[in-house]
Structure formats: C-alpha cells, structure tokens
Amino acid sequence: MQRLFAIIGDPVKQARSPDVFNALAAERGVDAIMLSLHVGAEDFAGVLDGLSGVRNFEGAVVTIPHKRAAFLQCGSHGRAAEAAGVANVVRKTGDGLHGDLFDGFGMVNALRRAGVEPDGRSTLVVGAGGAGVAVAFALAEAGAAPIQVRDRDTDRCRQLVHQLTQSGYPACEFADDFQGLRLVVNCTPLGLDPADPLPVAPERLDPDCVVADAVMAGRATRLTAAASARGHAVVPGEEMLAGQMPAIWSFFGLPGETDISAAKR
C-alpha cells in the first residue's frame, strides 16, 4: 500500500517539497508520495482530523498559515516545536499526532548549501514569531554571533532575546545599526503578498551582507529581489524547506540515510 504524505498550506502551489520528497522516494525505491494540499485556515483542523482517519496517510509538512494550528492539534512535540509553539511537520502515532519544527535546521542547511557558513557571522533575525524562534536558535547553535532580534511586538522580541541568552548565546535586541551585519534573515510573513512593505531596507546593508528569507512565495520576494538587484547574495524561503527534507524524511520514519546532499538536486 502506497504511504501517503502531504504538504498543507495556503498558498501551497509554489511548494517544492513534493518534488524533493518524491525524487527521494523514487531514488530509494520507497512506495511513498507527497501531495500538495491547498487548505484554508478555516478548514485546517478538519482536514488534518480527516486525514488522520486514512490508514495509509502517515504525516504532513505544514506551512503558512497553519503552523500554530498544527502545533495545537498535536498531542506531543519535539524540542524545537515546544520552544517555538509552532510545528511545521506532523506525523501520526498510535496515540494522536506528534509535531516538530525543522525550519531552523532547514535555514542553516540552506545557508551552508549556498556557501554561507553561519559560524561567527553577525546576524539580524527579523521577526520573533515561530519561524524567528526556530531560525534564531538554529543559527545560534550553528555559531552565528552576535544575534540581534527585531520585532514590532517588543514583548516577544525581548522574550526571544531572553530565551537565547538564557541558553548561553550572545543575543540582543536590534540597535538599528546595520554596520557590520553579515546576515539578515526575514522571519516575518512580509513578502508573501507582493504589496507587503519590506521587512528591512536593503540600502542600509553592507555589500557583503547575505539576505535570507523564510517566506515561500514561489517567486522572488520584494526583499530578495531588491537585495539581488543591489548585489547581495540571497537565500530564498524555498531553500529553507528543501534544506530540511532529508531530516523530515527520517522524521516520517522512512528508510534510508538522511544524506543532505540527496536533496540538493
């Protein structure tokens, strides 16, 4: 019986996960398939409930705007999901759903695959929501330092800084000084809609500052387009998801090594 997996989002048309996943399945001779499911926020809980009743459905990647709802629907969570309060992967267990969050891991992988080593890199994380928490912690673990955080919600900005420093990482609130920054990661949803304002002003960045975007828009976001035009190296959100597929493959209990290079195609 074919093992079924899904990516659930709105929008989801642009998602590359099924291509990467299905190529892995073909390469490894595993009878499994990942499908793109276009689901609005109002239907997410019902869809996930319904899918849970399909015996050969085993798990899903969850993207905007469902990551918080996915977390809430899970009976248990991995460490990263627990810390961020959101989940981007869920799998069926004998006893409900288990959720976890691989976005931070995926961003670090995507940067490294683009030749950008986070270790020792002065970094600004814009957005202290679920994606921001995941990305900030993964970058901190990868050695990025110092890490500055910005969010218009100053409470949650301070909370993330506090979590990072409590964990032993050098972190602070953003001081509005772009000098010396070598990496900026947009973890706000700004850019999903082409009419969104820019999350940061590219003209204030040093030329060697890498610009990464967690937004998956299926095209260049205003931010990555503007940064590219100014000569910055950019890493789009699609790469963050592609970068985590081998780890997600293992999370789903599928056989084979989680060789990162296998998802590079």
Which residues contact its own copies by CB under 8 A?
1-2, 4, 12-13, 33, 35-40, 43-44, 46-51, 53-57
d(CA 25, CA 34): 9
Q: For the chain, state the CA radius of gyration.
A: 18
Pairing of strands 89-93, 76-77: unpaired
13 in catalytic set: no
As measured in angstroms, the least distance from the Cβ of 39 to its own copies is: 6
d(CA 129, CA 13): 24
Q: Which is nearer to its own copies, 31 or 176 (CB)?
A: 31
As measured in angstroms, the least distance from the Cβ of 64 to its own copies is: 15
167 and 142 in contact (C-beta within 8 Å)? no
d(CA 259, CA 69): 30
As measured in angstroms, the least distance from the Cβ of 229 to its own copies is: 30
CA atoms within 13 A on the CB side of 61: 28
Q: Enter the tokens of residue 84.
A: 């961020």
- Phi first, then psi: give them for residue 233, nearest 5 degrees: -70, 135
Q: Which is nearer to its own copies, 142 or 241 (CB)?
A: 241
What is the end-to-end Cα distance of the chain in Å, rounded?
Answer: 27
As measured in angstroms, the least distance from the Cβ of 87 to its own copies is: 18
Q: Which is nearer to its own copies, 64 or 157 (CB)?
A: 64
Q: Which is nearer to its own copies, 93 or 167 (CB)?
A: 93
Please identify every residue annotated as catalytic: 67
